[in-house]
Structure 1
Amino acid sequence: MTPAEATQAVRQAIEEKRLVPSAFENIEAWLTEDRYSDYRDQVIALIADERWQELDDAFWTIIPFGTGGRRGQMYPVGSNMINDRTIGESAQGLADYVIEYNQGKESLSCAIAYDTRHRSRHFAELCAGIMAAAGIKVYFLDDYRATPQLSFAVRHKGCDCGIMVTASHNPPSDNAVKVYWSSGAQVLPPHDKNIIDRVMNCQQIRSMPFAEAQEKGLVEFITAEIDEAFLAAAGPQGFAGPKDVKVLYTPLHGVGAEAVMPMLKQDGFNDVKVYGPHEEKSGDFPNVPGHVSNPENKHIFKQPISEAQAQGYDLILATDPDCDRLGVAAPVTADTSGPWTTFTGNQIAALLTDYVLRKRAEAGTLSPEHYVIKTLVTTNLVRSISEEHSVRCVGDLLVGFKFIAKAMDANGPDLFVFGCEESHGYLVGQYCRDKDGAVACMLLTELAAELKSKGVSLAQHLESLYHKHGYHKEHLLNLFMKGSEGMAAMTRLMSAFRESPPSELAGLKVAQVRDYLNNVSTDTASGQTSPLAGPTGNLIILDLAETGNYVAVRPSGTEPKIKLYMFTKLDQAASQDLDQAEQVLSARLEGLESDMEAFAAANQ
């Protein structure tokens, strides 16, 4: 089959509705343009075999840069897939922009790291070769290492950019590149759009073999240097206190043990064990339920909890494959053989906010000028705890830890105390500009040890925060919408929330609609609109008639889904009987989920 014959076959498949029309332009480009010549035969073979669904998935769009970089399913060809071409374009576009932005600078450098996923090392070497060919020195972490270590390496070595090869908590089929700027944070405007422009217009990928780049001194291994320096910088972010706690830690087949275990040992915790079935570094995540290593998923804790109950552990910690997020399980009471519970990202955020602020206050290193950062979809319990300690809460942020990093630098890093987001991301200190699962493990272990010395469990301590600040309960609903049809459904649903939102949810009136894309707030009773202060992004918040109860809606920046965040709250007086409060808010969340699902089904 010739390229012309293949193109005609694609036209016919579109007429027969086996392919969406948007796939044609991308497939035609890969069949005819010189920049895709290395992949032409593979595309023709797929067309000849009439593998239309695979072709539709691979070509219906061009894989975008989202909140976490360029992420998606791996497949040898396709504009919407992670492969040598799309990764190569990403690295080449970054290299071109870094050179252009830093005109006149004598030397440029880039830090590169990778995790345990399939082809991560290959993609890391590919990116290194492209940087080297552009004359950019590469500082390479020559083994599986954590995302926060990459962020730290960018700052430590004074790099102009950084690349982390990881798809975080996505399924084994996926991989990605996270792109970092010289601050150590993931790229922000205007750099992100400028890089994307160069990626989309990339004609030729210029690369140097990895071994040649090493021989020429354009690739330098810095693994041991960063391990030592990272531990020296992140470790002191902890606090003094009891160390008698027995910890079971799972890296979920990822990179976390190399960061978490030394940090806990340095902090004085000697009774820490890696959970055996999850210790193997594997991109298949073989012993994790569903093979998805996501610490948000409470099912990953089922087997570790059984071992912990049998062997008297006080705490279970879990980090995702690139060790930038933390999950936690602990006994409900001081009895480690009794029932256990898992904690949501919002609950961990509240526990750590309270712990860090309290320890800083006790040390006399906290003032009203200090501040905590959270996103718009992170529990307002964090704000209430901050107010209790008379510190600021910077909370008007879009989703993505890069916005927390930006707020750190905008508000002065010397006054930064703690940053958190509901998706299990936490940071304390100035040593990097991304969430850090290792330092979060250290802080949570310190808190657990302190509470154990008082005969109090983490769950009981969280209840005390509810008594003081009112009962907060949150829930996240993911609506998956894959492929070209899914993208159209996502667009329709977001439009429906903007143009004709529900008038009532879970028996509560929708009082206000905040549209952050258009920066407009609408009073639903009067229909009057007013300017909405805050960031601009594809986020809608429906405020309910009862204060502190609301729903946030946004398309994911890393996966084909819409995320519905549900926030419920009772005031302090109604939160003294927590069993009753739990029943009230659980019923409310069930109502919110049911009503939101019905609205989504009717408007996709």
Structure 2
Amino acid sequence: MASDPALSESPQVQTALTAVEMACQDGKITAGAVENIRCWLTENRYRDYRESVLRHISDQQWQKLDDVFWTIIPFGTGGRRGRMYEIGSNAINDRTIGESAQGLADYVVQYHGGKKSLSCAIAYDTRHRSRHFTELCAEIMVAAGINVYLLDDYRATPQLSFAVRHLQCDCGIMVTASHNPPSDNAVKVYWSSGAQVLPPHDKAIIEGVMNCQEIKRANFEQALADGQVEIVTDRIDAAYIDAASECRFPGPRDVRILYSPLHGVGEAAVVPLLQRDGFEDVVVYEPHRQPNGDFPNVPGHVSNPENKAVFEKPIEQARQEGFDLIMATDPDCDRLGVAAPLGTDSKGPWSTFTGNQIAALLANFILDKAAAAGTINDQSYVVKTLVTSELVRRIATAHQVRCVGDLLVGFKYIAETMDHEGPENFLYGCEESHGYLVGSYARDKDGAVACMLMSELAAELKAKGQSMHDYLGELYRQHGLHREDLINVFMEGSEGMAAMKSLMKAFRENPPRSLGGMTVAYVRDYESQTRTTLGDSPVVDSLQGPVGNLIILDMMEEGNYVAVRPSGTEPKVKFYIFTRLDAIESQDLEAADTRLIDRIAALEEDVRDFARISVV
């Protein structure tokens, strides 16, 4: 973008830029940060932030300046997400959120041409500044001629997805950073389908965001008075509960439930839905009940239901008071975590379930119920991602149901598959990161409906005198024991990005020939669309599937593999480890489990060693 000559020639700006150049020469700041700081000091579109940038330079806050300027915060799997800070191209602030909303608004107007009536649904969670960013986004939409339907209270992401569809909106915005730390916030951007934006819309929106010059805003209070912003919280609450409750199955409801919203929005969706479904004994865990963006009573202040530690205190209460099931949803209530007694005695030992285990439990329950209801036909299907357990596929096959499983990470791809394959035949979608969906009322994962279905399963098993862990054991004996694990390697800042690229390059160009004592047979590279058979003379074949930055290393032993991908929402590389024994080897579950635990440990050790060597 062109600089403003008056600013470029300003003595104060010139002095600051000289200081920045010197800091770069001294290794205190990266070249990328220098370039972005120059833009924010000399381009008129950043005029409102200039004094703050100058102050940071004057105070020689080089590390902070590098952190927030070294790159331009990207659109990941769910939108634009990161740490909040008052300035910076790599931070969440009024400018980067404003650019995101402006880019979306401009594209929606352009895409629909002369359409007279355009609308956008907006919702927000309990994070710091979520309400502020919501108002900012609403002002930008109204200024672009787009009416806003606002859920003006803490509400769940799946309710926003539902609202977009129910109100026939052209787009939607959810202000949330999901399960990220309290320092973070974000916007998730939705298209008229109720799904997060997909090609070609995502690329066009990103282009608009990157080229955004002026952020045009209306006055929020005036827009509200004029009806350009309409508050629809109660209306959507009622319609959402009506639609989501249609996904229930008949059966017993006698089960004691302890539920934690992890300081997020979940209570407003989960509790009414469970009550509508006939569950009368539902207690909200008080220490996690208060909506609070600091997540004060959650270990590490990270409200992630994938983390076993968030269940430790609730389990203590559950054992003392005789609960049968504990469920927790993340701050925007699109993910579910579960804990249950190992046996039928609630006062005995408890254990949590992984996202893959929950996926399998719900898959079998849903397909059993669908079969009993006679709603399965030869077109019925379930959907999962490439890094979700193949146990889901095996369960589907046993029910004579097709499984679409070659999807990249991101629930938007499950939503895309629903609309491509036909929502009328969709039975269930899941991903290993604790995201689940049934029905066609929304196009995003729904922690509330997952809570409802898990409660139904728990009640049915209680009536039979069976624990949920024993039920999972039956699935393992039938389909083979599956054990998965996830390694997160954080690589923050500009150095971290370089390390990530180096690591992915190593896996592509010089992959390990063995991991955990097992021979690596094939390497699937979804970016280059190749499948390489390793050996003395490697053979490269074409690979059918989605295109993305994902590598899977298949071991010689079928069902054992490692997937590697950079996160689309956080500065880290994720290593997914999958192990399996066949059904015959899985009848003695204790012995089989010991084998796979040892196998996972060996795989993890070798993966970490390879990663450490590759990024040096």
The TM-score with structure 2 as length reference comes to 0.98
Q: 2:127 aligns with which of 95, 98, 117?
A: 117
User: 1:573: which partner in 2?
Assistant: 584
Task: Select which of 543, 568, 583 maps to 2:554.
Answer: 543
Which 4+ runs in 1 deviate beyond 6 A?
Answer: none
**CA offset digits 1:70-103 (Å, max 9, x no partner):** 0000000000000000000000000000000000
Q: Which residue pairs with 2:480 in the alignment?
A: 470
- Number of the residue aligned with 2:364: 354
Secondary structure in structure 2 of the residue aligned to 1:431:
coil
Cα RMSD (Å) of the superposition? 0.5
Q: In 2, Cα distance between the equivalents of 1:215 and 1:13?
A: 50
Q: Which residue of 1 aligns with 2:67?
A: 57
Q: Distance in 2 between matches of 1:509 and 1:451?
A: 41
Measured after TM superposition, the shift of residue 282 of structure 1 is 0.1
Matches within 5 A, 1:265-284: 265-284=275-294
Residue aligning to 2:220: 210
Give the superposition deviation at 1:217.
1.2
> 3-state SS of the aligned residue for 1:330?
strand
Q: Summarize the alignment of residues 400-415 of structure 1 with structure 2, pairs less than 5 Å apart.
A: 400-415=410-425
Residues in 2 aligned to 1:38 and 1:487: alpha-carbon distance in whole angstroms: 29
Which residue matches 1:178? 188
Q: How does 1:285-324 map to 2 (within 5 A)?
A: 285-324=295-334
Equivalent position to 1:70, from 80, 87, 95:
80
Local SS of the residue matching 1:249: strand
- The amino acid across from 1:284 in the alignment is D
Q: Does 1:591 align with 2:573?
A: no
Q: Does 1:42 align with 2:52?
A: yes
* Aligned equivalent of 2:543, options 532, 554, 563: 532
Work out whether 1:85 is the aligned partner of 2:101: no
SS at match of 1:456: coil
Question: CA deviation digits over 1:204-230, x for unaligned, max 9?
Answer: 000012101112211000000000000
- 1:368 Cα deviation after fit: 2.4
1:397 matched to 2:407: yes
**Greater alpha carbon shift after TM alignment, 204-213 vs 181-190:** 204-213
TM-fit CA distance, 1:367: 1.6
Whichever residue aligns with residue 53 of structure 2, its letter is: V
Matched, 1:385 2:395: yes
CA distance in 1, matches of 2:19, 2:308: 47
1: distance between equivalents of 2:35 and 2:50?
A: 14
Range with bigger deviation, 101-110 or 417-426: 101-110
C-alpha deviation, 1:29, in angstroms: 0.5
Structure 2, unaligned runs of 5 or more: 1-10
Q: Counterparts of 1:86-101 in structure 2 under 5 Å? A: 86-101=96-111
The separation in 2 between residues aligned to 1:69 and 1:548, in whole angstroms, is: 33
**How far apart are 1:314 and its partner, in Å?**
0.1
**Alpha-carbon distance, 1:292 to partner:** 0.1
Residues 509-534 of structure 1: per-residue CA shift (max 9 Å, x gap):
00000000000000002311111000
Q: Is the aligned partner of 1:454 residue 2:469?
A: no
CA-CA distance at 1:46 after TM superposition: 0.3
How far 1:4 sits from its partner (Å)? 1.0
1:530 maps to a residue whose letter is D
Q: 1:242 and 2:229 equivalent?
A: no
Q: Which amino acid aligns with 2:320?
A: A
The alpha carbon displacement at 1:477 in A equals 0.2
Structure 1 residue aligned with 2:506: 496
Aligned to 2:6: none
Structure 1 residue matching 2:606: 3-state secondary structure: helix
Deviation of 1:158 (Å): 0.4
| Deviation digits for residues 529-568 of structure 1 (CA, Å, limit 9, x no counterpart) | 1110000000000000100000000000000000000000
Match of 1:137 among 139, 147, 159: 147
Alignment partner of 1:102 is 2:112: yes
Matched residue SS, 2:406: coil
Secondary structure at the residue paired with 1:395?
strand
The yes-or-no answer on 1:262 pairing with 2:272 is yes
CA–CA distance in 2 between the matches of 1:270 and 1:21? Answer: 60
**2:345 paired with 1:335:** yes
Percent identity of the aligned residues? 65
Partners of 1:152 and 1:532 in 2: CA distance: 35
Q: Secondary structure at the match of 1:517?
A: coil
CA distance in 2, matches of 1:145, 1:200: 29
Which residue pairs with 1:227 in the alignment?
237
Give the Cα separation in 2 of the matches to 1:368 and 1:550.
30
Partners of 2:63 and 2:590 in 1: how far apart?
A: 50
Distance 2:178 2:511 in 1: 33
Aligned amino acid, residue 590 of structure 2: D
Deviations 1:335-393 (A, max 9, x none): 10000000000000000000000000011111221000000000000000000000100
Specify the alignment match of 1:512 in structure 2. 522
Give the letter aligned to residue 46 of structure 1. H
Q: Deviations over 1:95-146 (max 9, x none)?
A: 0000000002111000000000000000000000000011100000010000
Aligned residue among 596, 601, 604 for 2:612 = 601
Measured in 2, the distance between the counterparts of 1:186 and 1:2 equals: 43
Please say if 1:486 is aligned against 2:493.
no
Kindly report which structure 2 residues correspond to 1:11-50, keeping only aligned pairs within 5 A, or say none: 11-50=21-60
* 3-state SS of paired residue (1:537): coil
For 2:568, the aligned partner's letter is G
Q: Which secondary structure does the structure 2 equivalent of 1:367 belong to?
A: coil
The residue aligned with 1:201 is 211
For 1:303 and 1:440, locate their aligned partners in 2 and report how far apart those are by CA, in whole Å: 22
In 2: Cα distance, 1:413 partner to 1:162 partner? 20
Q: Which residue of 2 aligns with 1:552?
A: 563
Which whole-Å CA distance do the structure 2 matches of 1:305 and 1:561 have between them? 30
Q: Is structure 2 residue 572 aligned with structure 1 residue 561?
A: yes
Amino acid of the structure 2 residue aligned with 1:549: N
Aligned twin of 2:7: none
DSSP 3-state at the match of 2:153: coil
- SS, match of residue 152 in structure 2: coil
Q: Deviations over 1:554-600 (max 9, x none)?
A: 00000000000000000000000001101100000001100000000
C-alpha distance in 2, partners of 1:69/1:43?
Answer: 26
Equivalent AA in structure 1 for residue 548 of structure 2? G
Match of 1:373 among 383, 392, 412: 383
The Cα shift of 1:333 comes to 0.2
Q: Find out whether 1:148 has 2:158 as its counterpart.
A: yes
**What TM-score results when the alignment is normalised by the length of structure 1?**
1.00
The Cα offsets for residues 136-183 of structure 1, whole Å up to 9 and x where unpaired, read as 000000100000000000000000000000000000000000000000
**Cα distance between partner residues in 2 of 1:561 and 1:44:** 31
